Chain A
Amino acid sequence: MSHQDHQLDPALARGLTMPRMSRRELFRYAGVGVGALGLSALLEACGTKGVTSSGSSAQASAGVGSQEWWAKQTLHHQLNFANWPYYIDTAHGKHPSIEQFQQKTGIQVNYTEPIDDNVTFYQSKLRPVLQAGQPTGYDIVVLTNNDWPLSQMMELGWLIPLNHEMMKNFDQYASHLVKDPTWDPGNKYTMAWQSGYTCLGYNTKYVKEPVTSVQILWDEKYAGKIGMFANAGELGSIGLLALGIDPATSTPDDWKKAADKLQQQKDAGIVRSYYDQDYIKALKNEDIWISQVWSGDVFQAATYQGYPQLKIAIPDEGAMFWTDNMCIPLLAENPLDAMTYMDYVYDPQVQALIEDYNAYVCPVPAAKEIIAKQLKDPTVANSPTVFPDAHMQSLSRNYYQFKNNEELTEWNNLFVPIFQ
């Protein structure tokens, strides 16, 4: 009896000595541990290689885009053209200019409109594919120069240099605003599709004074009724213009001053909101009275949509001149067909067809006559925002061209927080 008192209760002994973990649990946790180790090794291996800037040297070494390379290209009679929606002549469910092209050259055009925004299109359709070394499926894409994807594609060597032997129409008819432009010296990679001005739009019902300067956007009189662009390129540029600085020649110090001025505008409660493209709705609905606008939008609203009180003003400081550019992405399958089309579009007859619909800034001044006489559309032909006169042209300002990614990041870091 007393012997038992000195012994541990067998149950307690069992409890003290049994493994805390059952065998099953042990395997489970071991499995998780091994899995975690394996996973981290996998992740290390899977760290995306990314693209090195040897992309451009790879291209240079392969000679893509050189004259020898172009000489070897043949017509495939097939073309994949990606554009922005609603940006080409449309009649009875067809695009007449494209129909004519197909008949004339025998090249079948697969015209699609998948681009809704430069950055989104680039990040979702171009970059991931090109980074993996695969063709994008497009032969021509249209990118704007007021956003960074176009310059990044040039920097990474993701655009095929154009064949200058095939740019006869362009050389002869292109307006000097799009020839040898700042964003693409010598038109190495791009030919303009359409251009536009970012200027001031205002509602004459509420704004009684003449609008001549961008300073009106800082006018306290219109506090809460001003719209600005939620786009770092546009916002920064107008900040620079307001300080009397030409964005194309600005320096990072200038940018900081511009950011301060924009921040002051925001803090004073002058800006109602920063808009993407739907400032035009706010203007029409009279939620804002003055805004940064694109010329074509206001033209259409005033001329065709019943808002004649909306007007455009080109401020004395200048208006930013943006261009949507046709370019050929790397690994395009039908580059020669692409060049054929791109030059075809610069034939004044063709351009007149396209321009009559778009009413943005036409890259071919000779089309003006044709629109006035043959298409009998004086509204478009005589609009200064479609065929800018010398005075308008003198007020064109160009965006700053970033030399590298650090500059772009610095610009974005200054201006994105203002509308974010």
Chain B
Amino acid sequence: MSAIATTEPRSGSLTRPPARGARRRWTSFVLPTYSAAVILYLLIPIGIMILYSFNVSRSHLPNVTFKWQGFTTQWYQEWNQIPGLTPAFFLSLKLAFSSAVTATVLGTLLALALVRYKFRGKVVTEQILFLNIAAPEIVLGASLLGLFITLNLPRGFLTLFIAHVMFSIAYVAITVRARLSGFDMAVEQAAQDLGATPWVTFWTVTLPLIAPGILAGGLLAFALSIDDFITSTFVSGNSVTFPLWVFGAVKVGTPPQVFVMGTFIFTVGVTAAVINVLLQWRRERAARAYRASGA
């Protein structure tokens, strides 16, 4: 996250030719308003979800219902009362984190190799990446299951992890690559001229500069993993992931705890984002104070 902070002042210093009076007022509002509108639109279903997680449900096996029956915080108090759902929820979180991190590392390294070097098998690798995204999920899942059975590998968290990393690498590599192409090598050469070894250069110069791409790839990988259903069905063995559990429960009904857990994920995410913003703000304030103190 600190990597983002170092790049931000750069664009914040973008100087525009001074706009004429009336025009400035209009155009400088369009883009932010549009962006706010899009983000709000994306958040509409989340809002509905949060709202109806407070809805009353009366049956012995309570179900989510969109008929408003009264306000209650019961489901938040009983958030882990559905025996199969809670472990599925944490399993999905664990899986998404670990597979996203791994896929990000592997995909970033691969992207570096693809952008900067010519090597044997480069074209083939790129086409494999492409085919990975194009392949239908059910074929991915069924073929991988066949492999695991042949290898006599018990199906569970490990096989889920393998599968999730497998289908995320390509997305990360392509995203990081969009950041790397056009990367100015002069910066790296300058660092090496100043005595940095390639390793140090990578860590202190390259990595921070491509960090936005890495972060974006990681977020994509996380989103892919936490929602994966078809491939996971085939390779999960006796483990049940969150989407699997919820899909299966649809026959009988969706417990309100599903909405509670969704709200939980969302709240954690928003909190993390807000904390990050606050930390940045404090850093910037400290930096300003430092500068102002006559350094």
Contacts and interface: CB of A to CB of B under 8 A. Distances in A.
Q: Do A and B come into direct contact in the complex, CB within 8 Å?
A: yes
Interface of A: 80, 82, 84-87, 89-90, 92-95, 111-117, 120, 123-125, 128-129, 132, 134, 137-138, 277-278, 284-285, 294, 296-297, 300-301, 303-307, 356-359
B63 A300 contact: yes
19 contacts: A85-B84, A86-B61, A86-B249, A90-B61, A111-B83, A111-B84, A113-B84, A114-B239, A116-B233, A116-B244, A116-B250, A124-B141, A124-B233, A132-B150, A137-B237, A277-B250, A296-B252, A305-B59, A305-B63
B245 A113 contact: yes
B59 A113 contact: no
Interface in B52-82: 57-63, 65-69, 80-82
Contacts of B288: none
Interface of B: 57-63, 65-69, 80-86, 141-142, 145-146, 149-150, 152, 233-234, 236-240, 244-253, 255
A114 B238 contact: yes
Contact of B251 (A82, A285, A294, A304): A294
A115 B59 contact: no
Given A84-B252, A132-B149, A113 B240 contact: yes
Contacts of A116: 233, 244, 247-248, 250
A340 B287 CA distance: 71
A138 B240 CA distance: 14
A304 B57 contact: yes
A137 B238 contact: yes
Contact of A358 (B61, B65, B86, B145): B61
A329 B86 CA distance: 27
Contacts of A124: 141-142, 145, 233-234
A274 to B, nearest CB: 16
A95 B83 contact: yes
Contacts of A137: 237-238
Nearest to A87: B252
Contacts of B240: 112-114
Contacts of A123: 142
Contacts of A284: 65-67
* Of A124, A277, A297, A306, most B-chain CB atoms within 10 Å: A124
* Of B85, B150, B251, most A-chain CB atoms within 10 Å: B251
A94 B145 contact: no
Contacts of B59: 300, 303-305, 359
Contact of A305 (B65, B83, B236, B251): B65
A256 B145 CA distance: 37
Given A113-B245, A129-B149, A86 B81 contact: no
A85 B83 contact: no
B252 A85 contact: yes
B52 to A, nearest CB: 12
A114 B248 contact: yes
Contacts of A358: 61, 252
Given A85-B249, A357-B61, A90 B83 contact: yes
Contact of B67 (A111, A120, A134, A307): A307
A92 B57 contact: no
A111 B82 CA distance: 13
A92 B61 contact: no
Contacts of B244: 114, 116
* Of B69, B149, B236, most A-chain CB atoms within 10 Å: B149
B238 A112 contact: yes
The 9 closest A-B pairs by CB, nearest first: A116-B248, A304-B59, A306-B67, A305-B65, A85-B249, A113-B84, A85-B248, A124-B234, A86-B252
